[in-house]
Amino acid sequence: MGLIGFEQRMSKILYPEDAIRDRVAAMAQQITSDYAEKGLSADPESRPLLLVGVMRGALVFLTDLSRQMPIPVEYDLISVSSYGNGTAPGAVRLVKDLEEPLEGRDVLLVEDIIDTGYTIEYLRRSFAARKPASFRVCTLVDKVARREVETEIDYAGFALEQDEFIVGYGMDYAELYRNLPYIGVLKPEYIQ
Ligand code: PRP
């Protein structure tokens, strides 16, 4: 089945492709001006900004965002997962750690969506222990409606007030829909 079939599974297109493109470009411009010419950069060795993507959802945003940033950057990836039912709320498990040490680095964590806030808070604690020179958080979607733990977000693309099940542009349901170029609300009949 092609992507055309997938569009019929959406109750609405929340953020169309061109709206995402414009927002990502504006975020990239803001981040670039914040980090360029020293700015926020605090790495004593002046190494490139380290963009850390949280797998798997952030991959699409990370690549689009960084290609709009005309400054040197490096990539690293981390993978975490929420524990299932029956465990403490907000428990997060490390699935794949970073390749690079963070000590002394300028680190920008890149997420597709911040929901309850547990993942980002787990990563914030974990990264703080590794002593980066600076640490900031960037997310395309800030799902404020679902926040359970307070968290500071430095760059947010879209604030989502409604608690809707969204997919596309990196976000999945059962591993599907990540490659949609837009973000849509999945019809309930396609959620099992
Ligand atoms: C999503 C998203 C964040 C996390 C946010 O990942 O990419 O990492 O959930 O949720 P929280 O604020 O409630 O902790 P998901 O677990 O769906 O995995 P994926 O990135 O592989 O899709």
Is 5 among the domain residues? no
Is 59 among the domain residues? yes
Range of the domain at 116: 16-38+46-164
What mean pLDDT is predicted for residues 17-30?
98
Answer yes or no: is pLDDT of 11 > 90: yes
Residue 118 Cβ inside 6 Å of ligand 1? The answer reads yes
Nearest of 191, 188, 187, 192 to residue 9 by alpha carbon: 187
State the pLDDT at residue 101.
97
Residue 117 alpha carbon, nearest atom of ligand 1: 12
Average pLDDT of the chain to the nearest whole number = 94
State the pLDDT at residue 5.
86
CA of 37 to the centre of ligand 1 (A): 33
Is 133 among the domain residues? yes
Place of tokens 């019929």: 8
State the pLDDT at residue 176.
95
CA of 55 to the centre of ligand 1 (A): 8
Is 65 among the domain residues? yes
Three-state DSSP class for 69? coil
State pTM to two decimals. 0.95
State the pLDDT at residue 31.
98
If one compares 9 and 1, the residue with the highest pLDDT of the two is 9
Total structural domains within the chain: 1
Is 1 among the domain residues? no
> Do the Cβ atoms of 35 and 72 come closer than 8 Å?
no
DSSP state of 49: E
DSSP state of 117: S
Residue 53 Cβ inside 6 Å of ligand 1? The answer reads no
The model's confidence at residue 133, banded by pLDDT at 50, 70 and 90, is: very high
- Identify the CATH number of the domain in which residue 85 sits: 3.40.50.2020
**pLDDT tens column, 134-180:** 999 999 999 998 999 999 999 999 999 999 999 999 999 999 999 99
Is 170 among the domain residues? no
Q: In this structure, which residue's CA is closest to atom 7 in ligand 1?
A: 57
Is 132 among the domain residues? yes
Rounded CA-CA distance 88/103 in Å is 30
Hey, what are 149's tokens? 């733990």
State the pLDDT at residue 4.
65
